[in-house]
Amino acid sequence: MTVQIGIIGCGVMGADHCRLLHGEIFGAKLVAVQDSDRPRAALVAASAGDVRIHDFAHDLIADRDIDAVVIASPDHTHAALATACVEAGKPVLCEKPLAATIEECQAVMTMEMTGGRRLVQVGYMRRFDPGYRAMKRSLDDQQFGRPLFLHCVHRNAVAPHYITSDLVIANSSVHEIDIARFLLDEEFAAVTVISARSSRHAAMRQPQFIVLESASGVIVTVEAFLDAQYGYDVQAELVCEDGTVSLAPNPPVSRRHAHREGFEIDGDWRARFADAYRDQLKEWVASIEDGRPVGSSAWDGYAASATAAAALEALAAGGKTATNLGERPAFYAG
Amino acid sequence: MTVQIGIIGCGVMGADHCRLLHGEIFGAKLVAVQDSDRPRAALVAASAGDVRIHDFAHDLIADRDIDAVVIASPDHTHAALATACVEAGKPVLCEKPLAATIEECQAVMTMEMTGGRRLVQVGYMRRFDPGYRAMKRSLDDQQFGRPLFLHCVHRNAVAPHYITSDLVIANSSVHEIDIARFLLDEEFAAVTVISARSSRHAAMRQPQFIVLESASGVIVTVEAFLDAQYGYDVQAELVCEDGTVSLAPNPPVSRRHAHREGFEIDGDWRARFADAYRDQLKEWVASIEDGRPVGSSAWDGYAASATAAAALEALAAGGKTATNLGERPAFYAG
Amino acid sequence: MTVQIGIIGCGVMGADHCRLLHGEIFGAKLVAVQDSDRPRAALVAASAGDVRIHDFAHDLIADRDIDAVVIASPDHTHAALATACVEAGKPVLCEKPLAATIEECQAVMTMEMTGGRRLVQVGYMRRFDPGYRAMKRSLDDQQFGRPLFLHCVHRNAVAPHYITSDLVIANSSVHEIDIARFLLDEEFAAVTVISARSSRHAAMRQPQFIVLESASGVIVTVEAFLDAQYGYDVQAELVCEDGTVSLAPNPPVSRRHAHREGFEIDGDWRARFADAYRDQLKEWVASIEDGRPVGSSAWDGYAASATAAAALEALAAGGKTATNLGERPAFYAG
Amino acid sequence: MTVQIGIIGCGVMGADHCRLLHGEIFGAKLVAVQDSDRPRAALVAASAGDVRIHDFAHDLIADRDIDAVVIASPDHTHAALATACVEAGKPVLCEKPLAATIEECQAVMTMEMTGGRRLVQVGYMRRFDPGYRAMKRSLDDQQFGRPLFLHCVHRNAVAPHYITSDLVIANSSVHEIDIARFLLDEEFAAVTVISARSSRHAAMRQPQFIVLESASGVIVTVEAFLDAQYGYDVQAELVCEDGTVSLAPNPPVSRRHAHREGFEIDGDWRARFADAYRDQLKEWVASIEDGRPVGSSAWDGYAASATAAAALEALAAGGKTATNLGERPAFYAG
C-alpha cells in the first residue's frame, strides 16, 4: 500500500518535506501541494514530478486521492487546518506549534476526541533523533536510576530577523519543553526565567535561562541563545542517580589543520536533525498504515504551548510561575 | 517510475537488502527472491509482502517483471550470475567480491564491454559511508594538499569460524583496498605483508599488517585484526601535506558511569555501516533511473581482487610483491 | 633563598601540603608541623625528614625559624590563626573558607589592612588549575567577546558523611563562587537556589541548582550533586558572545575494552586538581620572595563566604536573594 | 640533602634544564654551567642566580662542589663527556643520543661496567610522560592481555633546516624506538623502512614509514613526518589481545568558535612533554639520593642507537634488515 500525501505550505519546511517525501520515504507518494503563493507552490510541485497544485488548503484536504496531510503553513493557520483534517478523518502531521493560542490547541483536542480517533501528530521532530532516543532508552531501561537533571542548550548562529524575547521561548525553547516531557514522561509544575545581559549581536533581550521543575522534582535547565555566532548547537545532558547520558552529535570526520584539531559545527538545524526529519515522516507514514500513533500528540502540542506560555509569564514577571495544564484526558494516555 | 528488483541469495546479506528495499528505499519495489534453500527464501519473501519466489537464479534474472538484480549468493556464484544479468541487459548490484578468481573478474568485464553498457556495481558499500565521503571531498577540494598516508584499521570482535590467514586479506582487507583506491584515485604498485604474533584468541596466523604503496608513492597501511574482542572498529586517518582527516564514527550519545566516560562500541558492522548500506541501495536505484553509474565498477571489483591476490603472494613469500593490474580499459574511465 | 614553612593541621589537607612541600616545591623548606592530635603530627613530621613538632599552633606561628605558615586545621580555627599570622607579620596560606562567619572574615581583613601589607592567601586552588587559567586568558584577551554564561557542574562520587544541604553550598559550591568571581572579575548581585528531588543515594535534600547573576548580568549556573556515584567530575563551560571555552580535563590515555571506548573518571579531587595544589604552593612560595600576592585574597575569601551565605538564605526562602558585599576596600584592588 | 648540579651545554635543551633545576626541582641546586660559547653560558648562568661558569667541560666535571652532571652539548661530544663523568664517579643525565656511533656507546658501557656502578641516564624523557606511563601500567598489569601492535606517529610542524632522511630516523624516530623498547620490554629482531612520496614542504626524502618486529612478534609501526605543518603531534596506540590504550594528550580546554569545535595543537615538543622533562629531572635527582637508577640506561641508549642504525640500513637497502644488538650484559638487567 502507498500512502498518498498532500502538503499545505511550500516555504522552507514544506519544501523540505516535499524533498523527503519524493525521494526518501518508502511507502509514500506526494500527490498535491498548496500555498497561498501559487508560484512558490508550482516550484515545489515541479521538483516532485507530476504533483497537483491546489489553490486552497481546504480543497487539498478534501481531495479524495489524498490519504494524509502535512501542514507547513504559517503558525496562525495550523489550528483551523488541523481541525479540518480531523473533520475529514485524515491523518495530519502538523508543524509545531499545534496552534497559535492555548484555546485553539484545546479546540483541536476537543474535535479529535469527538471523532474518537487519534489523527493529529505535531512535528516535534526531536523525538525521532537517534540521540534523544538513546537517552530515552536509558531512562526506560533504568540504566542509571531515576533522572534528576536535564541540562539543555539551544544555540543558533544568527537569530531570524523577526525574533523577539518572547519567541526565544515560544519558538525555540518549546522544542526543549517537548523533548523534556518526552524523556521524563511527566508535566512541569513550575518555571523560572532569568535573562542574561544581551549579546552585542542580539537585537533584543536574550539570551534567556529557563529552569523548569517537573511534578516529581526533576530540574530541566535551558540556555536559549539565538545569536551564538559560532554555529547551531543543541546539547542535552541527562543526569541520573548513577550516571549521565549526553548528546554527542559529531560529524563523521574530525580534522587536524593549522594548529587545531576537532569537528565542524553546522550552520543550522538541517544537517543536525536530518535523520530526525526523515524518520519522523517515515514513521508517520508507517503509523498511518498500522494505525498506531507515534510522535507528539495534540495533547503534547497543547502541553508544550501551555508550558511555554507559563514561561512567558515568568519572563514578564521576573520570577517563578506555576504551570497548570489540567488533567490529561484518558484519550491521550500512553 | 518504480524500479522492480529481485534478490538472489537470502542469507544475512540478502535478508538485509530485502529489509532495506521493503521499507527504506523510495522508488524501489522488491518483487522476487531466490535461494537454493527454498524455506529460507520463503522466510525472506514473507517479510516483504507479496513477493514471488523463484526456484532458480536464472529464472529470476529472466523474469520480465524484474528491472534489476541484487546478487547476495555465495562468492563462487557471483561471476556467472553477474554475467547472466549483463547478458540480460539488467543492472546488477553484486555483493563483493565480484568473482572468486581474477580470470572470472576479467570475464565479467569482457562481457560488460561487449554489451557496451555499464551494468555492474560491486557492493563495496563503504564508498557510501558519510565518513569516507567527507574524506573524499577533502581530497577532491585539495583542502589539505596531496595525500601522503592513509592509515586503516579493521578490527572485528570475533573472527568467523571459517576464517583463514588468507581470508583476513581476501575477505576483510579487500574493503580497505577498495576504499583506498576510491579515495586516492590510483592503483597500487607494491604490497608488503607482515604477520604479527597471534592473539591467544586467534585460531590461525593473524593479525596481519599490510603496507600498500600507490603508483605515486602514497603509503596505505592496514592493520587487520579479526579477533580484537572489544568490538567492531574500522578506523581511517588520511594524512595530507597540510592536515589530516580521520573517521569519527561515534554513536549519538556518550555516557558517564562507574568511573568511566565514553562511547559504546558496536559488536559488528551492521550498525556501523547502516547508512552506507541504505545509501548504496538508494543511489543504485536512482542510478538505474538516470543511467549514470555509481559505486564500484567491475574494474574496481577486479582491481580490489587482483590487489588482494598480490597481498596473498606477499604473505606467502614474506616480503614485498609488485602488483600488476594491466591498463584500465577506457570503458571504465571516470 | 629558601622559604621556611610551618603547617598547622595534619589531616588530609595538611598531610598533602606536607608531601608537596617536602618533594615538589623548589625554594621551600618545611621546618615544623602542629596538630591537636600529636601522634598525627608526628606521623606527618616523620614523612618529611627532620621536622619539628609544635604542641600549640601559636608556638608554630611565633617560631623564629618559620617564614610563612600553611593553615589546614578545622574551619572554625581559621580566622584566629590567620589573624595571628598577620599580627606576626608572616605570610599565610589559609585553607578555604577564610573563616566560619562573615564577621570573622571581616575581622581578618581589618587586621590585614591595619598592618598595611597583604599577607593572607586563601586556598581556593582552582585559580591555579591549567583549565580555568586558559579560560581566564581567553576572557582577558577578549578572544570571544564578553561573557554571558558560565555553566558549572560539581559532582562528587559519594558525599562525606557530615554533609548537609547547607554544606552542599557552603563547602562545595563555594569553589564555583570563587572561580566565577576570578574569571568574571566582578561580584554577584543576586542568587536563586532550586532543590532537585533527592537522589536515592542522598541522605539529605540535594542535589541543588544555583543561579548567580553578576552585577553586569552574566548568569552563572551551578549544579551541585555530591552523590553522583560515577566519580568526581568538575565541569565548566564559559559562553561568550562569539564562542565558548570548556574544561576538558581528560586523563592522559583513552581505552577501548569490552564494547566501550573512553576515559577513566577520577574517584576524588586529588588527581583532578593535583597540578592546581602544586602550583598554588609553588606560586605562593615565589610570591613570598618577590612580594607580589597571588591567588585569593582575604577579600576574595570574604566575598566567597558572603555570597554563599546569600545562597543559603535563598535555599531557606525558596527564591531569589540579593547579595550585598559592600564596597571592596582599595587595599584589595587589582 | 641537596644535589648540586652542573650543566654542560647551554643551547635550547641546556637552558631548559637550567630553568627547571632553578625553579621546579625540589632537592636540586644548580651550581655551575659551561658552554663553548661563553656569552651564552653567561646568559644562562644569570637566569639562575649565583651560578659559576666553567670554561671547560672537564673542569665542570672535576668541580668538587658538583655532585652530578647534565650533558646537553652537541651530540658528538656526548660519549667523551659521559665517560669522563663515569670516571669521576658522578651521576650523569646525558641528552640523547648517548653517543654519535655504536662503538662509542659500547665504550661508555664498558667504562661504566668497569666502575661497577650505574651512573649514566640517557635523556629519553618520554619514559616519564604520564601517557606512556599509563600505557606501561596497563601492560604490566596485563589489563588487556599481551601486546600485538604499537602504532606510533611522530609529526613535527616544520623540520629543522639541518634535517636529512637519515636524521628523520636517527634523531626523531629513535624516540619511538626507545619508548617501544620500554613498553614492550624486549628488543627488535627486524626493521623495514618504506619512504612515502615527499611532501611539497619537505626538503628531502620524507616522510618515512618504519615497521619494527620485536623478538616475540609484536609489530611496532612508526610514521615519521617532520613537515606536517599543522603542529607537533605524537600519537601512540597500543593494541593488545583484549583491548587498546591510546595517548590522549589534550590541552586543558576545548573551544567552539567560527563553526569549529576542538582543541589547540602545540607548535613544538616543549608544551607536549613539559611534564616529562620536569619529572625526568625530578626522578633523576631523587635516584641520585636513593641510589636506584631510573630512566634509560647506557644499554638502552646503545640499543636505541643500534636499532636506529639497522633502520638506516633498511632505508638505504629498501628492504627488511635484521638487527643484532648482542646479549644484554647482566649489569644492565632489570
Q: Which residue of D has its CA nearest to C1?
A: D49
Q: What is the DSSP secondary structure assignment for residue D168, as one 8-state letter? A: I
Q: What is the rounded average pLDDT of the residues A79-103?
A: 97
User: B39-51, pLDDT tens digit by residue?
Assistant: 999 999 999 987 9
Q: What is the pLDDT of residue B167?
A: 87
Dihedral angle at the C-alpha atoms of B169, B187, B276, B22, nearest 10 degrees?
-90
Q: Is residue B296 part of a domain?
A: no
Same domain, yes or no: A15 and A65: yes
User: A272-299, pLDDT tens digit by residue?
Assistant: 999 999 999 999 999 999 999 999 999 9
Q: State percent of chain D over pLDDT 90.
A: 91
Domain C-terminal end among A58, A88, A122: A122
User: A132-146, pLDDT tens digit by residue?
Assistant: 999 999 999 999 999
CA–CA min distance A80, chain B (Å):
32
Contact residues on chain A for C217, CB-CB shorter than 8 A: 195-198
Cα D165 to Cα D312: distance, rounded to the nearest angstrom: 9
Same domain, yes or no: D151 and D245: yes
- Going from the C-alpha of D315 to that of each of A236, A301, C125, the distances in angstroms are 52, 69, 52
Same domain, yes or no: A158 and A307: yes
Same domain, yes or no: A145 and A103: no
User: A244-262, pLDDT tens digit by residue?
Assistant: 999 998 899 999 999 999 9
User: C212-256, pLDDT tens digit by residue?
Assistant: 999 999 999 999 999 999 999 999 999 999 999 999 988 999 999
Same domain, yes or no: A133 and A209: yes
Q: Sheet containing C92-94: give its strands across.
A: C52-54, C28-34, C3-8, C68-71, C92-94, C120-122
Q: What is the pLDDT of residue A204?
A: 72
**Looking up cell 535461494, which residue turns up?**
B35
Work out the mean pLDDT of chain C and round it to a whole number: 95
Q: State percent of chain D over pLDDT 70.
A: 99
Same domain, yes or no: D90 and D184: no
Confidence of residue D166 (pLDDT cuts 50, 70, 90): confident
Confidence of residue D204 (pLDDT cuts 50, 70, 90): confident
Using alpha carbons only, what angle is made at residue A161 by residues A156 and A163, rounded to the nearest 5 degrees?
70
Yes or no, beta carbons of D131 and C253 under 8 Å apart: yes
Q: What is the CATH number of the domain that holds A31?
A: 3.40.50.720
Total residues belonging to chain D: 334
pLDDT at B206 over 90: no
Q: Determine the residue among D156, D254, D265, D272 to mutate to test chain A binding: the one whose Cβ has the most chain A Cβ atoms within 10 Å.
A: D265
Work out the mean pLDDT of chain B and round it to a whole number: 95
Yes or no, beta carbons of C259 and B230 under 8 Å apart: yes
pLDDT at B82 over 90: yes
Q: Determine the residue among C26, C129, C240, C242 to mutate to test chain D binding: the one whose Cβ has the most chain D Cβ atoms within 10 Å.
A: C26
Other beta carbons less than 10 A from residue C203's beta carbon: 14
CA–CA min distance A140, chain C (Å):
17
Q: What is the ipTM of this complex?
A: 0.95
CA–CA min distance D247, chain C (Å):
5
Yes or no, beta carbons of B242 and D229 under 8 Å apart: yes
Asked if C200 is an interface residue toward chain A (Cβ–Cβ < 8 A), one would say yes
Cα C94 to Cα C74: distance, rounded to the nearest angstrom: 11
> Are B150 and B180 contacting, i.e. CB atoms less than 8 angstroms apart?
yes
Burial grade of A16 (CB within 10 A; 0-12, 13-18, 19 or more): middle
Yes or no, beta carbons of B23 and A27 under 8 Å apart: yes
Asked if A26 is an interface residue toward chain B (Cβ–Cβ < 8 A), one would say yes
Q: What is the pLDDT of residue C192?
A: 97
Same domain, yes or no: B194 and B80: no
CA–CA min distance D243, chain B (Å):
6
Same domain, yes or no: B79 and B172: no
Q: Which residue of A has its CA nearest to B144?
A: A257
Same domain, yes or no: C157 and C249: yes
Q: How many CA atoms lie within 13 A of C63 on its CB side?
A: 26
Q: Determine the residue among D230, D233, D247, D253 to mutate to test chain A binding: the one whose Cβ has the most chain A Cβ atoms within 10 Å.
A: D230
DSSP H helices, chain A, are: 12-21, 38-46, 57-62, 78-87, 102-115, 130-140, 165-167, 174-184, 269-272, 274-290, 298-317
CA–CA min distance D265, chain A (Å):
5
Q: What is the pLDDT of residue C319?
A: 85
Q: Determine the residue among A26, A126, A237 to mutate to test chain B binding: the one whose Cβ has the most chain B Cβ atoms within 10 Å.
A: A26
Q: Which three cell numbers stand for residue B25?
A: 528505499
Same domain, yes or no: A180 and A312: yes
- Going from the C-alpha of A107 to that of each of A8, A299, A334, the distances in angstroms are 20, 11, 21
Alpha carbon B119 to its chain's center: 17
Cα C89 to Cα C280: distance, rounded to the nearest angstrom: 21
Q: Which three cell numbers stand for residue A70?
A: 502535512
pLDDT at C205 over 80: no
User: A20-69, pLDDT tens digit by residue?
Assistant: 999 999 999 999 999 999 999 999 999 998 799 999 999 999 999 999 99
Asked if C260 is an interface residue toward chain B (Cβ–Cβ < 8 A), one would say yes
Confidence of residue B137 (pLDDT cuts 50, 70, 90): very high
Q: Which domain holds residue C156?
A: 127-267+302-332
Q: Is residue B288 part of a domain?
A: no
Q: Which residue of A has its CA nearest to B252?
A: A131
Q: Measured between CB atoms, which of D260, D265, D267 is closest to A265?
A: D260
Same domain, yes or no: C21 and C62: yes
Helix (H) or strand (E) segment spanning residue A28: strand A28-34
pLDDT at C49 over 90: no
Yes or no, beta carbons of A264 and D260 under 8 Å apart: yes
Q: Which residue of A has its CA nearest to C318?
A: A320
Asked if D262 is an interface residue toward chain B (Cβ–Cβ < 8 A), one would say no
Q: What is the pLDDT of residue C250?
A: 82
CA–CA min distance D244, chain C (Å):
5
Domain C-terminal end among B93, B123, B153: B123
| Neighbour subunits, A (≥3 Cβ pairs < 8 A) | B, C, D
Of D60, D30, D58, residue with least CA distance to D46: D30
What is the 3-class SS of chain B, one letter each residue? CCEEEEEECCCHHHHHHHHHHCCCCCCEEEEEEECCCHHHHHHHHHCCCCCEEECCHHHHHHCCCCCEEEECCCHHHHHHHHHHHHHCCCCEEECCCCCCCHHHHHHHHHHHHHHCCCCEEECCHHHHCHHHHHHHHHHHCCCCCCEEEEEEEEECCCCCCCCCHHHHHHHHHHHHHHHHHHHHCCCEEEEEEEECCCCCCCCCCCCEEEEEEECCCCEEEEEEECCCCCCCEEEEEEEECCEEEEECCCCCEEEEECCEEEEECCCCHHHHCHHHHHHHHHHHHHHHHHCCCCCECHHHHHHHHHHHHHHHHHHHHCCEEECCCCCCCHHHCC
Domain C-terminal end among A100, A122, A144: A122
Asked if A283 is an interface residue toward chain D (Cβ–Cβ < 8 A), one would say no
Q: Is residue A115 part of a domain?
A: yes
Using alpha carbons only, what angle is made at residue A239 by residues A236 and A242, rounded to the nearest 5 degrees?
145
Confidence of residue C50 (pLDDT cuts 50, 70, 90): confident
pLDDT at C290 over 80: yes
What DSSP string describes A256-318?
EETTEEEEE--SSHHHHTHHHHHHHHHHHHHHHHH----SB-HHHHHHHHHHHHHHHHHHHHT
The domain total for chain A is 2
Q: What is the CATH number of the domain that holds A265?
A: 3.30.360.10
Confidence of residue B3 (pLDDT cuts 50, 70, 90): very high
Yes or no, beta carbons of C256 and B233 under 8 Å apart: yes
Q: Is residue B294 part of a domain?
A: no
Q: What is the rounded average pLDDT of the residues B94-106?
A: 97
Q: What is the rounded average pLDDT of the residues B160-167?
A: 85
Q: Is residue B295 part of a domain?
A: no
Q: Determine the residue among D19, D142, D255 to mutate to test chain C binding: the one whose Cβ has the most chain C Cβ atoms within 10 Å.
A: D255
Q: Is residue B46 part of a domain?
A: yes
Cα C247 to Cα C259: distance, rounded to the nearest angstrom: 26
User: D81-112, pLDDT tens digit by residue?
Assistant: 999 999 999 999 999 999 999 999 999 999 99
Q: What is the rounded average pLDDT of the residues C43-67?
A: 96
Yes or no, beta carbons of C229 and A219 under 8 Å apart: no
User: B313-324, pLDDT tens digit by residue?
Assistant: 999 998 899 999
Looking at per-residue pLDDT, the higher value among D226 and D249 belongs to: D226
Q: What is the pLDDT of residue B161?
A: 83
Q: Measured between CB atoms, which of D231, D263, D267 is closest to A262?
A: D263
Pairing state of beta strands C3-8 and C28-34? parallel
Burial grade of A21 (CB within 10 A; 0-12, 13-18, 19 or more): buried
pLDDT at B1 over 80: no
Q: What is the pLDDT of residue C157?
A: 95
Work out the mean pLDDT of chain D and round it to a whole number: 95
Confidence of residue A162 (pLDDT cuts 50, 70, 90): confident
What DSSP string describes D8-36?
E--SHHHHHHHHHHTTT-TTEEEEEEE-S
Decide: helix, strand or coil at residue C58.
Answer: helix
Q: State percent of chain A over pLDDT 90.
A: 90
- Going from the C-alpha of D24 to that of each of B89, B333, D43, D259, the distances in angstroms are 78, 64, 19, 39
Asked if D235 is an interface residue toward chain C (Cβ–Cβ < 8 A), one would say no
Of A73, A184, A103, A203, residue with least CA distance to A139: A184
Asked if C49 is an interface residue toward chain D (Cβ–Cβ < 8 A), one would say no
Using alpha carbons only, what angle is made at residue A168 by residues A323 and C153, rounded to the nearest 5 degrees?
75
Q: Measured between CB atoms, which of B24, B28, B245 is closest to A255?
A: B245
Same domain, yes or no: A203 and A229: yes
Yes or no, beta carbons of A230 and D254 under 8 Å apart: no
Yes or no, beta carbons of A242 and C230 under 8 Å apart: yes
